[in-house]
Amino acid sequence: MLRVAIVDDHEIVRAGFREMLADESGIAIAFEAASGEEALARLPGSACDVLLLDLALPGQSGVDVLRTLRQHHVDLRVLVLTGYPEERYALTMIRHGADGYLSKECGQAELLQAVRTVAQGRRYLSPYVAELLAGRVAGTVAEAPHQQLSERELQVFLRLAQGQSVSKIGTVLHLSVKTVSTYRSRLLEKLGVESNAELAAYALRNGLLVE
């Protein structure tokens, strides 16, 4: 039996994916969670093979949760299932450890294919994401500055863009204020901006704000 967890803060969305998966023999719902914190709390006591992870979660974002999962649940397969278009986050999330990336607009057949693919230890790439990756490898698709950020830089960037203070980011991410300030300086340089306001404007232009 393949055990799947669904992490999304919208009950109606969880219900929809639960229904799509429940109709398939050989798949059981391990648990559902409305936040990253709830999912992380449930995992130690729940047998789970594949976790469906939204990026836009209250509290810890999907970006934060993925980092924790890769540190403490290395055998768990993670399929990002989100409303953000593939061109915004897919390659970045896969580079940072996701086993696949799927739009919430997917149909039942594609969802089942993605779940089974990552459960087998392989990466799931939709045709569009595969095309993006091929373009990147061939050099015909330019990599945007934010796509070159490290996992930790991305976490700090998104929180700064949301208007969080350096001290709050340090508390949430368990980093010193000095370390967060160092990341901020790197971000300003890498993204070619000069202030937090310009960081936020960059994020808005590129549709990156995870709320």
Closest to 53 (Cα-Cα) out of 44, 40, 71: 40
Q: Average pLDDT of 7-19? A: 94
pLDDT of amino acid 88: 82
Amino acid letter, residue 103: S
pLDDT of amino acid 140: 67
Close Cβ partners of 74 (under 8 Å, ≥ 6 residues apart)? none
- Which residue has tokens 């976490």? 155
pLDDT of amino acid 69: 94
pLDDT, tens only, 89-132 = 888 899 889 999 998 988 999 999 999 999 999 999 888 888 88
pLDDT of amino acid 141: 63
Q: Average pLDDT of 158-169? A: 93
pLDDT, tens only, 53-70 = 999 898 889 999 999 999
Contact 3, 31 (CB under 8 A): no
Q: Average pLDDT of 151-178? A: 92
CATH numbers and ranges of domains, the chain: 2-138 (3.40.50.2300), 145-205 (1.10.10.10)
Phi, psi of 92 (to 5 degrees): -65, -45
CA distance linking residue 191 with residue 74, whole number of Å: 31
pLDDT, tens only, 177-197 = 999 999 999 999 999 999 999
Close Cβ partners of 197 (under 8 Å, ≥ 6 residues apart)? none
* 148 vs 11 pLDDT, higher one: 11
